[in-house]
Chains A and B, each alone.
Chain A
């Protein structure tokens, strides 16, 4: 019950953020540049062509009304038509989002699977060599530009060792359409195509690693400091006095309360993770929303750009909602206080 209240509050909150986000995006797209139709058509278009496009897109209506249309479209999940391809932006995004979602999911998994144990090890052997190693690793992973990490991985695994493919999601000769969830790894399993699953994983590994590095470093660092913080708490001392064995102390009594800060950090940093996904997708020719976004930006396709920014904002908000639920799940204090 408490949890439900907490959830409702968080959802209302998220909706508020999304409304604000839509205003910001709309302002950038419609207020700043002057005339989107002229921009889309280029300087060679005739005045009549521009006027026609304006008419078609409703650009000659008052700004507030345009925002109303934008919001009305948004609430139905309609992001308008691409100014160039004339296809609904929705379709384009739906086609590309699956790839990005898969990449981001794999990234978060990698970041936690490696970051948390590294942080735990560093805290357990504080000021010993594992700690030093993890701290160096964390700093380097934080300061390595994602595109640079991507290039280095590509050189190492693709060109020098020849062990992993460097571009795309699947080999060219492999026929498979991810039609259920858009995630190749999931859909291939659903279809019982283990060969596709294996290949999809192989193609996913390099980009996900490149993207995961920065987040993994942050998570390791935060896990370390919160484990150290928790380890000096009275309740850990008490469990020691009552003879609870060390593995249980570390992996249960210390790890669970220490799990909240890394989750929170992931939420805060998720925006920059999406940002990095743009460059990583480009390097690995990953056919995701970022690749699409960069294409449309270079072509000044405003509706598509707005769609891409809005979708990454929604992605951020949803991920943070999930994280809040997880935090509430891990830490009862949050859900009990959060509902008041």
Chain B
């Protein structure tokens, strides 16, 4: 066991559908130290999403089943701790930034309502209490932190009234509500245009650095990896095939799969540069 904030050890997960069993994760290990920026990269089906869902406790069991391994947060194994304890961490100690700003917000409730509800139950889990007004103040504060110009107006809006970029920022704000130590970001901004995505990634990076958070960035995009991480894990077919400092990886990829991934990135300016964010998107 390491002293990392989040440590995944030898995690194996299988899925059983229609009587067929698939080993989706085969002994995955990774470390996210406090205040670090880690990327987990792989193509669809590589197991990166399953890893993320296992960490967040979002796997549906069945069909999924954790067959072996541990996930330590702050030294406590999430998989063996009582459900109640684990729920305390969800959305509070570790929080998630969702991928698709169009579909990850409930269309029939205002932003204030959705963020307020999240905060209310996060508070309750942590044994805190806050009045309605204080809660709204906190919502507005966080919306301001994600550089929303008019937090009060935004909070009164329904998702349909906001642009994609604004919705993505709301999703980041949601993750920040209870001041988590670890942010897990699932390809944020992939659904947006390249310029907006670049802004979102920049914002995320700034926020993480400003408040000293740890970031685990899940992505299939090597451009995003380069922009947002200093250490990277490469996954393929349920296995971590390679992990090392991000800069190293681009200099001298060791694994064949990694090399293939890097080669697959279209070059925009010639040479070995990777188009800024979104080249492979």
Measured CB to CB, the residues of A under 8 A from B are: 233-245, 248, 252-253, 256-257, 330-333, 336-337
Contact = CB atoms under 8 A, between A and B. Distances in A.
B240 interface: no
A248 B117 contact: yes
A204 B72 CA distance: 62
B119 to A, nearest CB: 9
Interface of B: 56, 58, 87, 90-92, 95-96, 98-100, 103-109, 114, 117-118, 121-122, 125, 158, 160-161, 171, 174-175
Contacts of B175: 242
Contacts of B92: 243
Which of A233, A235, A253 is the most central at the interface, judged by chain B CB atoms within 10 Å of its CB? A235
Contacts of B107: 235, 257, 331-333
Contacts of B109: 252-253, 256
A257 B95 contact: no
A256 B108 contact: yes
Q: Which 6 A-B pairs have the closest CB atoms?
A: A243-B91, A242-B91, A234-B103, A332-B158, A243-B90, A235-B106
A239 B114 CA distance: 9
Contacts of B122: 242-243
Nearest to A337: B160
B121 A336 contact: no
B98 A238 contact: yes
B255 to A, nearest CB: 31
B160 A336 contact: yes
B121 A240 contact: no
Contacts of A236: 106
A332 B100 contact: no
A258 to B, nearest CB: 10
Contact of B121 (A233, A237, A248, A331): A248
Nearest to A235: B106
A234 B104 contact: yes
B121 A333 contact: no
B105 A333 contact: no
A244 B100 contact: no
Contacts of A240: 58
Contacts of B108: 256-257, 330-333
B123 to A, nearest CB: 11
Contact of B106 (A243, A253, A337): A253
B272 to A, nearest CB: 36
